[in-house]
């Protein structure tokens, strides 16, 4: 069984806001407050410390880098600026968990059919670190069995679809595959086919005018689409076998054009 544990932690929400590039006014007020408490403390916390928080927690992780960590964090946690934002994150976390539970059975059935894998027989426990809903965030930490998540609901069942996307990275991690090719298949399976089935209609690659997926995978997704549609109709393979066949078909061809360093930065912000 794939079991998700949803958590809304003060240190994760705080650090996710402080490192963000969002222009949301309450975030800027919180950043200003953190700077007033201690500029060096703010500079440390405005770095990307996500993996460190998951592994150790913020207090332990940054203690060597700045003085008075416990005191400064306690002060910041008590401020009206943080208290209001954290309550919003908690409400969002409850909403995401509720949506997930409501959709779990049907989405599990749909995605098992799409992938040709009985996902109900896969044993995974994954912790979902929820942040503020104004932030756009979704990433898998495979070794830590964790996913970080926050995003405005741009269309119906948004969180369910993209949590499955991240879960599929955990499910497929132990297989031998081409990473970009499997990532593209995860986008076709989750971002597109699952979304359409779960919401009772829609089209590939766009929902309410919003493009689906990573920009650097768009070309590959479209290249695979004709074979993907045949795969869905045939049901003679599972997603691993299909990936292996596509790897053979496109052997020797450059499937993706990797983004520049700036492009990678844009993908995660």
| Cα–Cα distance, 229 to 250 (Å, whole number) | 17
Per-residue confidence (pLDDT) for residue 254, from 0 to 100: 64
Report pTM: 0.88
Q: What is the number of other CB atoms lying within 10 angstroms of the CB of residue 147?
A: 26
Q: For residue 173, is pLDDT > 90? A: no
Residues in the chain: 269
| Cα–Cα distance, 97 to 75 (Å, whole number) | 29
Alpha-carbon separation of residue 179 from 89, 116, 184 (angstroms)? 32, 19, 9
Per-residue tokens: 185: 């298949």
Regarding beta strands 146-150 and 210-211, do their DSSP bridges make them parallel or antiparallel, or are they unpaired? unpaired
Q: What percent of the chain has pLDDT over 70?
A: 87
| Cα–Cα distance, 105 to 235 (Å, whole number) | 21
Per-residue tokens: 23: 């222009």
Q: How many domains, in total, are found in the chain?
A: 1
Does residue 229 sit within a domain?
A: yes
Does residue 210 sit within a domain?
A: yes
Alpha-carbon separation of residue 251 from 166, 181, 245, 254 (angstroms)? 27, 11, 10, 8
Q: What is the number of other CB atoms lying within 10 angstroms of the CB of residue 224?
A: 23
Does residue 47 sit within a domain?
A: no
Per-residue confidence (pLDDT) for residue 91, from 0 to 100: 97
Does residue 32 sit within a domain?
A: no
pLDDT tens profile 99-132: 999 999 999 999 999 999 999 999 889 999 999 9
- Over the chain, what is the mean pLDDT? 86
Q: For residue 262, is pLDDT > 70? A: no
| Cα–Cα distance, 137 to 150 (Å, whole number) | 5
Does residue 40 sit within a domain?
A: no
Per-residue confidence (pLDDT) for residue 214, from 0 to 100: 85
pLDDT tens profile 226-260: 999 999 998 889 999 999 999 888 776 666 665 55
pLDDT band at 207 (very low <50, low <70, confident <90, very high): confident
Per-residue confidence (pLDDT) for residue 62, from 0 to 100: 60
Per-residue confidence (pLDDT) for residue 66, from 0 to 100: 58
Higher pLDDT, 174 or 7: 7
- Residue 250: which domain range? 175-269
Higher pLDDT, 169 or 263: 169
Does residue 259 sit within a domain?
A: yes
Per-residue confidence (pLDDT) for residue 269, from 0 to 100: 38
Q: What is the mean pLDDT of residues 27-50?
A: 87
pLDDT tens profile 50-76: 777 777 666 665 654 556 778 888 899
- Where is mean pLDDT largest: 17-26, 90-99, 143-152, 248-257? 90-99
Does residue 213 sit within a domain?
A: yes
Does residue 193 sit within a domain?
A: yes
pLDDT band at 265 (very low <50, low <70, confident <90, very high): very low
Q: Report the number of secondary-structure helices (H) and strands (E) in the chain.
A: 13, 6
Rg (CA), the chain: 20
């Amino acid at each position: 069984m794939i079991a998700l544990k949803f958590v809304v932690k003060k240190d994760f929400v705080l650090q996710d806001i402080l490192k963000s590039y969002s222009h949301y006014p309450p975030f800027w007020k919180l950043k200003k407050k953190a700077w007033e408490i201690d500029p060096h403390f703010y500079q440390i916390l405005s770095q990307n410390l996500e993996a460190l928080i998951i592994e150790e927690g913020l207090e332990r992780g940054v203690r060597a880098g700045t003085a008075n960590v416990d005191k400064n964090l306690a002060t910041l946690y008590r401020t009206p600026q943080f208290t209001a934002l954290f309550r919003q994150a908690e409400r969002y976390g409850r909403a995401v968990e509720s949506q997930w539970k409501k959709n779990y059975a049907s989405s599990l059935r749909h995605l098992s059919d799409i992938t040709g894998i009985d996902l109900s027989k896969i044993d995974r426990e994954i912790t979902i670190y929820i942040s503020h809903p104004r932030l756009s965030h979704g990433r898998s930490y495979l070794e830590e069995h964790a996913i970080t998540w926050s995003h405005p609901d741009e269309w119906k069942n948004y969180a369910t679809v993209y949590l499955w996307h991240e879960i599929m990275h955990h499910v497929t991690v132990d297989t031998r595959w081409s990473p970009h090719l499997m990532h593209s298949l995860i986008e076709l399976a989750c971002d597109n086919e699952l979304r359409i089935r779960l919401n009772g209609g829609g089209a590939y690659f766009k929902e309410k005018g919003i493009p689906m997926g990573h920009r650097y995978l768009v070309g590959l997704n479209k290249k695979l689409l004709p074979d993907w549609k045949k795969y869905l109709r045939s049901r003679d393979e599972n997603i691993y076998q299909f990936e292996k066949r596509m790897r053979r078909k496109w052997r020797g061809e450059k499937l993706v054009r990797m983004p520049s360093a700036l492009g990678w930065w844009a993908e995660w912000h």
